[in-house]
Structure 1
Amino acid sequence: MSEAVPREPTRVLMIGGSAHHPGGLESYCARAMEAVARSGRTIALTWLESGTAYLSPRHLPGIARVIAAMRRKRRDGFAVAWVQASNLTELALAEVAQRLGYQVIVTPHFGAASRMETHGLARAVAARLLARADRVALLFASQAEEICVPRTAEHAVVGTFLPDASLAGPPIDRAPPDHVRLLHAGRFSEGKGTFRMVAFCAALRARGVPFSARIIGRGDAATSARLHAAVAAADLGAVIAIEDWRDEAGLIAALREADVLVHLSTLDSFPLIVLEAMACDTYPIVFDMAGAGDMVARFGGLSLPRDAEIEPVAARLGAIPTAVLRARARVIGAGVRAAYDWPVIVGGLERIVVDVASR
């Protein structure tokens, strides 16, 4: 009996991200590359940066080079283009890929606050381009309800790639303190919930709840000065530490040391910091935005209406014994780590690619 000939992996060209403006999208692409290289079985992934973030005339020659590279890769046998779309130019590259003969998967990296949603003409163009994709691969299940994914577009959930360190699980804290350890991390701003964190801490202290808190991030000089002033005005300097932003390893370490992530943001469509915190056994408190609400509904935590008053939220948290809070967080963490383990996410991506490539 002859041995079966191993099937060549489907070559997938991942398009998106900008080296001149690294951020969450670029981290997503880098982790996708590492995850597929580590555990992929039926696909081989190559990353082509689009260079379209904050597009200006000086970046336009780069678009021509990207299209030329897409053409070369197609001639070399790449069958599928997986476009990471954070702006209209990246969505337009999905259209270019289709015209070059690729089967096209698009993952939208934008939410309701994006100009592609708030600007009527941009929204119409984005919806039309998404409708032409062979598959829309969503970051989370309810994303299609938040943005302009047409009902006629075929879509599936591909998910996200969490930092490898967060999926390792937290170290055993052999002597955790009796008080609750709070954390807020992000760019300092009203929209991100930085000042709600201060108000939340003030409400906890007024109720006699023992806690310590850290605010990790950075902002412009005026916002940073205002934050320090707010902490001083509330006489919380002894319990709130304001720290500079950390690299990935430092942030994961901070999440592992916290009991509760307070992320009362009204801006984030899919706040990765919340999912990372949950993976580190940290209990999340969020507003019921599409992405964050989806995370809490699926795994656990506290999700609040955007008009919720701070004092009742503090009362709800203060009523949960610290040991119970930590036990709930451990259950949440186990669920997130199982669902977002890299082989699980890669397996889902492979199923989408195989389905699209077989057309």
Structure 2
Amino acid sequence: MLNKIKWIKATSIATFTLLISSVSASALANEVNIYSYRQTFLIEPILEKFTAQTGIKTNVVFAKSGLIERLKKDGRYSPADVVLTSDFARLMQISDEGLSQAVSSDILTANIPSQFRDNDNQWFALTKRVRNVYASKERMANLSGISYEDLAKPQYKNKVCMRSSKHPYNIALVASMIAHHGSAETKTWLQGLKANLARKPQGNDRGQVKAVKEGECDLALGNSYYFGVMQQDPEQKKWADSVNILFPNQHDRGAHINVSGIAMTKYAPNQDSAKKLMEFLSSSQAQQVYASVNMEYPVNPTVKPSEIVASWGAFKEDNLAMTKVAENRQAAIMLLDEVKFDL
């Protein structure tokens, strides 16, 4: 049985505390309490399968923000057993602020490749996304060999659109560039990329593809799963149909990968149930749901992507460990500040 608390867009502290308390009161041995940044429609079918298979009840608080802050405030009295994140930055925050604990599991080790889990088992990735380049079919038809580095070349001046550089997806990309090229070369790249922007960074990933459709720019950066979302939306399909989805750096290191993931909280009251949930989410059964519902790439290498995602083509992915991305996140933020990228 899934005991869900509605998705919280904005709420007062008093209301939020009341919601958390309702979860805390039900923290029993055969239950697991989940703080989820991932959306309801994606998580619910997976958790229902978990309960059906294990008999373990799931209690979930869904929110777009504030869960980590709540976790810190409640400390050892927090009811949360695990936190599901939609981006790598929040996984890092949970670990860096000492809010997680190590999980030793042969199942997790077998199901999740080493580059997608913490060296100390503090967090585990569950899905993968590519940071793609979207190119106008009409104006940029022959760019199959493009790289992230190419986006800074003078030939693309006033042709690139992207969301804020301070969004976690872009910070991770810049961090990966630092890992591969060093800070000095990455700074030069950022300056070139900024000079090529068609407009000030704004909007979300799908908004960049819309801008290409409307002729504001010819190239855009965006995550892979948004392409699938647009293809299935009657209004946004025309945006997707106007671009080619490209996988950068196929002639060298491969396309940049970012992830969603999970961590067990430091004071998890239901550790055994939480561990079983984490193991289940890495299983082929759960990974197939992730792949089909949200059009992400499974982190478990035995599971194939959905038919829609597979139709975009096979590609080479950058095998840079996520821990290396984490090591360079602060350096990436500093460089973005230095070049005043969003200004």
Please indicate, yes or no, whether the TM-score normalized by the shorter chain is above 0.5.
no
Q: Relative contact order (C-alpha < 8 Å, sep 6+): which is higher?
A: 2
TM-score computed with the length of structure 1 as normaliser? 0.34
Q: Which has the larger radius of gyration?
A: 1
The alignment's TM-score, normalised by the length of structure 2, stands at 0.35
